[in-house]
Amino acid sequence: MSEVLIEAVDLAVWAPQALDVQAAAFGLTPEEVMVRLHIVGRHAQQPGVIALGAFEGGRLVGFGYGMPNRREHWWSTVIEPYLVARGYGDWLDEVFAVTELHVLPEFQGRGVGSALIRTLTARSGMDRSILSAIDAETPARRLYRALGYRDLARAVHFPNTERRYAVMGAALPLRGVGGAGPAQSAPANSR
């Protein structure tokens, strides 16, 4: 296995390849990919968006992106009542939202996801991070907890899906994870 490099990417340009990774990692249908392609295109235009790709030999094997959260974003409007009910409404302000983070199944468990999220949040310049993840004991949830994320709300229902989600938040910088894996960050302008 060659080294995996984490590099800044233009989200609009890399969206189709990123969604191929997400489809493989998350089990999306072609119809879901098409819907998400439009969403990612809109996200690419948001102020402060940071997008990273994980590359092995020039092949995209993982990606992540996020942006400063704004209450008027669709995601925020869905999670707000859940956070307010638990006393965490302030987690919608002055926080970096990790919007998507996915790694091809054959690269999971090798430190790629950890390197992506740690690099994303470090580049955000913010003091806190928030994200949503499937509300189940998954490898992703275990990774987020190891990095310092904690549950802010659970059993969150997003429209058009049966899955329930957990909203998690962490102070930045994220905690280190032992044996961070082979992924290395490259300078932001290297690709």
Pairing of strands 96-103, 59-68: antiparallel
Catalytically annotated residues: 144
Pairing of strands 150-157, 96-103: unpaired
Closest by Cα among 152, 177, 155, 175 to 164: 155
Contacts of 136 (CB under 8 A, 6+ apart): none
CB 117 within 8 A of CB 180: no
174, burial (CB in 10 Å: exposed 0-12, middle 13-18, buried 19+): buried
| CA diameter of the chain | 47
CA geometry: angle 16, 5, 47, nearest 5 deg: 55
Taking the CA atoms of 148, 6, 34 and 22 in sequence, report the sign of the dihedral they define: negative
What does the DSSP 8-state code read for residue 90? G
